[in-house]
Structure 1
Amino acid sequence: MPTTTGASPAATAHRRRSRRKAPPPRQPWCCSFGLDPSTAAAAAASRSPLPAPPRAKPPHQLAPPLSRRIRSPGRVSPIDDPCFATAASSCVSARLSSVTECPPPALPPPPPPPPPAAVDRPREMLRLRLVEKGLVLEVDEVERVRRESKVVRKVLRGRGGEVAVEGKVEVESFREVVEMMLEDKDETAAMRRLARGGVARAIGVLEVSLSLMFDRGVNNCLKYLEAVPWNESEEDIIKKLLSQHSSYEAAFRNLLARLQPQRPTSSAELVVELVDSITKGTNNNARKELRNLVNGILSKSSVYIKGDKELDKSSIYCICHSCLNSLVGLFEESSDLVPADQTSISSVGKGPLEGIYKLVEDTNWLLQILIDRQMGEEFVDAWANEKALRSMHEQVSPMVRHELSRISATVFIAMGNGKLHCTGDKRFSFFQAWFRPMLVDFGWLRRYPKGLNVTALEEGIGQALLTLTLAQQQMLFMEWFEAFSRQGRECPNLMRAFQVWWRRSFVRSLGFLTKAG
């Protein structure tokens, strides 16, 4: 039986080398979906029909950890750690994928081995680190970003590096800015991009563009914001941004025109014009709404006006005197149309009566503005000396003349509340002129109050009367006593004030005199 002799050692080694396949060529590492070169080689070896003997790794070389980076919305791809990005071979990636977002590496791994000879030079990479968010944005097209941003151009004098951005910057706003830098200079496309995000996103993009001194992005944001409405909170943010970046004052010109007038006008002057327009209006419903609007502007807690709230008193009084002069003319006309014995308000048609109602309403409104701003004392003096209207009061029907007492009622209430600080002589002159007409017209005011608080009127008359001297009070209370005994509830009820006057005049003064004697 034949025997087999052992092969020589050289032949055995030759057969082993022939069975071992050559290692696959190193695969390029693309920034989109590429793998680490060492990982690609291991995968190729695992698919070989003949297993390759294991090779021991150098002790200083560790397997690089994998991290997940958001390449674009809806796309997640594993790639190597950022510290190995400069060692990878170059590749072409889509424009929207050229901006990547990843968490910052925890600790840098040991230095990698020298790159293969096939790689000519490391890939340029710009890393934008958001300090507050703890995120990193990587950009491949460094040169393009360097041309667009003055800050990046100043910080990165070489070919690549990192720029740290401090402050509470929104990640999406920062991404928008970088993608606008990588796009062509198409203003229409930039407007569409900003419109998709809305005003809030545009403000965020403007903030990042101002921080990076990206002039094209700043101009696009300003043009978009100038053409759309904002709410008050957005307006405050825009004002803050404009005040912090005075170097862009020329670019802010159109936006500043929406925030502050080029030629400041006094708000008090405008209010006087508004008041004058209301008194000249003819639509009653519209005039009522506009009066409420102006009252809101003039109120102490107004949100419409912060400073310069002083009115021009002389201008308001000029409007008041104009209303009173027109009222005299209408009373002269109505004295011929409405006899003094006519007492049926339904029998009176339109015409001068509507004008009288409107003028009385406007005069009371102006008087209330003056009282609220502690400027109504001069009106009391002017109303007390209004001899023309006072003389016509007895010649006109009570359905018309009681409108004059409506003006007096406003003065009585304010005087009784202590909101009018007139001298004693002026107070007594006012009572001498309009106390008797009030006693006659009170019944008509009760039947047709038109918003007048009759109870407050009675209280105001009594309290105002008690501010006079005791001798003046006695004369006026005796006149009221006689009118009340004839008219009853058609006359104001001043019994409480009368009792106070009586105690002050006789009970307390007699006790004081007795004690003094």
Structure 2
Amino acid sequence: MDPHRRRRRTWCCTFAASPDNSKPGPRKPEPHSKPTFSLPTSPKSRIAARIDPRRILSPGRVSPIDSDPVAGAAVPSPSPSPSPAPPSPVAGDRDVRMSLRGKNGGCMVLEVNSGVLCANSEVFAGLIADYNKGVSSFSGSNKMCRIEVPEVENLGVFRETIELMFENEDGLTKRLLNIGVFRSIDVLEVSAGIMFTKGVLSCLQYLEAVPWTEEEEEKLRNLFTRFKFDEATTRDILGRLYLQDSVDSSSQPNVARQLVWSITTCVDAKARNELKSLMKGLLCKSSVYEKNHLDLSKEDLYSVCHSCLDSLVSLFEEASDTITPEKLLTKKDKNKPLIERISRQVDNINWLLEIMLDGQIAEDFVNIWAEQHQLVKMHDDVSPMIRYELSRISAILFVAMATRKLQCKVEARWGLLQAWFRPMLLDFGWLQRCRRGLDIKVLQEAMGQTLLTLPLNQQYLLFMEWFRHFSSHGTECPNLSKAFQIWWRRSFLRGSETFAIESR
């Protein structure tokens, strides 16, 4: 016969449980009063310190019981004892009746052996000891002890925890494996509440050895904030939940900066795009993850950004045959087409810019990009199929300013447009053919709106340049007609008011 089945049959003979759906009627007065014991509720009491107050909100009691046996449970009839003290329970006797009252209704009655309870739970051992003291001087008391536990969160989990007391170590591990992580966390909570040490240790060992879902992890984290476990027992689990403080944080490398740097230097395009999407999701303001652990500062982002800009300048020097020998790239990078290497650096800068815009720290980049005089100068000397990549960076800034995601001073806006408005006019045809996710209608609207944020005399210079270019290149040039009309109305239809003010 299977040894596991044999043990289960033996266990069934020592443990019984049945639902109790009947409402208890008024108890008749007994001819001889019997002692009644309540769960202590003072701050110094053992129960108040061991059981979560949300689990037991009102005092239970331990008292002799004379009620009829529960339906479906074979309860041995108590025999009168000749001595005042109740007889010691025989192994296998169900001499404790535990009434569980659910927090949301329902009830359950468990009949168990007091020896098993006392050996596994300090809480129940104390209750049963109090009961024995109370009835030691009472003659004729039956030996059935009654324990009531109200406000039980989950009746099934409580019963399952009591059942684990009857398992050996191997059986207990198998039971936890069968019920899974989520329910094992509930069992751990009940075990901690009733001080079931073997159950607590088994649950912690099981939970440490298996993976968790995010929901299970959050549930376990909440449990650890409400219960204090032995440090040696929980060290491995806490190591999975929290960063250890044993190492000085100042000596740890900046993980986020290392990751961002690795992405910008990644050669494989598919992997780079996948990692960019991953990191952007982790770093964005709406991320569900705690960004404090990443610790990516403004200085870190701009440091990586300056490195990408330096690489971009070197690549355009290579494209315009003005690069110095000491700036020649490595042989590995030289094997890649020049246009691919330029496009990669532009993608890196735009990705970093998106992170800056989300963190509202992109204002400084406007000045940095406006001061790239070397790139502006080389723009006219390289092929249009390469130089248009620079206008992709300008396009991100124009759209951000027009959609109010980026606010900067008028000097910064004027510097940006002075440097990059003309290159944008020249590159617009290539931007239309190679959009790379860019919405051309949004870009045209953004360019016009950005121009309109300048003083009228500065708008005049830029709109006249656009007018001349548009008349020569047509659809190869952005259509700023709507913004041009607004500038015209502001400049001339109300011009008489302006002249009147100036003449005073």
When normalised by structure 2's length, the TM-score is: 0.74
Aligned to 2:274: 289
2:494 is matched with which residue? Answer: 508
**Structure-to-structure mapping, 1:21-420, within 5 angstroms:** 94-104=10-20, 106=24, 115=79, 121=87, 123=89, 125-132=95-102, 133-140=106-113, 142-157=114-129, 158=132, 161-184=145-168, 186=169, 188-263=170-245, 269-305=254-290, 311-336=296-321, 350-420=336-406
Query: Structure 1 residues 166 and 271, CA, compared in 2 at 3 Å: closer, same or farther?
Result: farther
Aligned partners of 1:367 and 1:376 also within 8 Å: yes
Match of 2:439 among 453, 468, 471: 453
Q: Shift of the alpha carbon at 1:168?
A: 3.1
Shift of 1:306: 6.7
Judged with a 3 Å threshold, the aligned counterparts in structure 2 of structure 1 residues 513 and 179 are, in CA distance, closer, same or farther, namely: same
Per-residue CA distance 1:23-42 (angstroms, 9 max, x = gap): xxxxxxxxxxxxxxxxxxxx
> Match of 2:33?
none
Per-residue CA deviations over 1:323-347 (Å, capped at 9, x if unaligned) read 010011111112249xxxxxxxxxx
Q: Which runs of 5+ in 2 are unaligned?
A: 31-65, 68-76, 133-142, 323-334
Letter paired with 1:134: C
Return the alpha-carbon distance in structure 1 between the equivalents of residues 156 and 404 of structure 2: 61
SS at match of 2:427: helix
Counterpart contact for 2:98–2:109, Cα < 8 Å: yes
Counterpart CA distance in 1 for 2:259 and 2:466 is: 41
The one-letter code matched in structure 2 to 1:320 is C
| Cα deviation 1:420-447 (Å, max 9, x = unaligned) | 2222222111111111111111111111
Distance of 1:285 and 1:446 partners within structure 2: 24
Larger mean CA deviation between 152-161 and 362-371 belongs to 152-161
The one-letter code of the counterpart of 1:356 is I
Question: Which of residues 443, 446, 456 in structure 1 aligns to 2:429?
Answer: 443
3-state SS, counterpart of residue 246 of structure 1: coil
Measured after TM superposition, the shift of residue 115 of structure 1 is 4.7
Moved more, 122-131 or 409-418: 122-131
**Once the two structures are superposed, what CA deviation does each residue of 1:60-83 show, in whole Å capped at 9, x if it has no partner?**
xxxxxxxxxxxx9xx9xxxxxxxx
Calculate the aligned-residue CA RMSD, in Å. Answer: 3.4
Determine the structure 1 residue equivalent to 2:483. 497
Larger radius of gyration: 1
Structure-1 separation of matches of 2:449 and 2:81: 106
User: Does the 8 Å CA contact 2:385/2:430 hold for their aligned counterparts?
Assistant: yes
* CA distance, structure 1, for counterparts of residue 443 and residue 476 of structure 2: 13
1:190 CA drift (Å): 2.1
CA distance, structure 2, for counterparts of residue 164 and residue 118 of structure 1: 28
**Aligned-pair distance for 1:451?**
1.0
Report deviation, 1:122. Answer: 7.7
One-letter amino acid matched to 2:216: E
Change (3 A) 1:292 1:222: same
Equivalent residue of 1:261, what SS? coil
Quick one: structure 1 residues 292 and 215, their matched pair in 2 at CA, closer, same or farther if it must change by over 3 Å?
A: same
Higher deviation after alignment, 379-388 or 243-252: 243-252
Residues 212, 482 of structure 1: alpha-carbon distance in 2 compared, 3 angstrom cutoff: same
Unpaired runs of 5+ in structure 1?
1-71, 76-92, 338-348
Higher deviation after alignment, 421-430 or 444-453: 421-430
Q: Which residue of 2 aligns with 1:69?
A: none
Task: Give the Å deviation of 1:363.
Answer: 0.6
Structure 2: which amino acid aligns with 1:100?
A
1:139-182 per-residue CA deviation (whole Å, 9 max, x = no partner) reads 13x22321221111111112862333334354443343333323
CA distance in 1 between counterparts of 2:469 and 2:290 reads 49
Note if contact 1:439-1:483 (Cα within 8 Å) is conserved in structure 2: yes
The one of the two structures with greater contact order (alpha-carbon pairs below 8 A, sep at least 6) is 2
Deviation sequence 1:264-313 (CA, Å, 0-9, x none): 97999543333222111112122222222222223333223376788411
Query: What is the rounded CA distance, in whole Å, between the counterparts of 1:469 and 1:170 in structure 2?
Result: 70
Give the conservation status (yes or no) of the 8 Å contact 1:149–1:213: yes
Q: What amino acid is the match of 2:188?
A: L
Give the partner amino acid of 2:224.
Answer: L
Distance (Å, rounded) in 2 between the aligned partners of 1:300 and 1:316: 15
Q: 2-side partners of 1:160 and 1:242: how far apart?
A: 37
Distance in 2 (CA, whole Å) between partners of 1:95 and 1:419 is: 68
Deviation at 1:231, TM superposition (A): 2.5
Structure 1 residue 183, shift from structure 2 partner: 3.5
Query: Residue 416 of structure 1: CA displacement?
Result: 2.1
Task: Give distance in 1, aligned partners of 2:15 and 2:417.
Answer: 84
Counterpart-to-counterpart distance in 1, 2:15 and 2:81: 28
Q: Number of matched residues?
A: 414
Q: Distance in 2 between matches of 1:193 and 1:325?
A: 61
One-letter amino acid of the structure 2 residue matched with residue 174 of structure 1:
F
Moved more, 142-151 or 506-515: 506-515
Q: What is the percent sequence identity of the aligned residues?
A: 43
Query: Using a 3 Å threshold, how does the CA distance of structure 1 residues 430 and 143 change in structure 2: closer, same or farther?
Result: same
| Counterpart Cα distance in 2 of 1:428 and 1:146 | 82
Deviation at residue 215 of structure 1 after TM alignment: 0.5
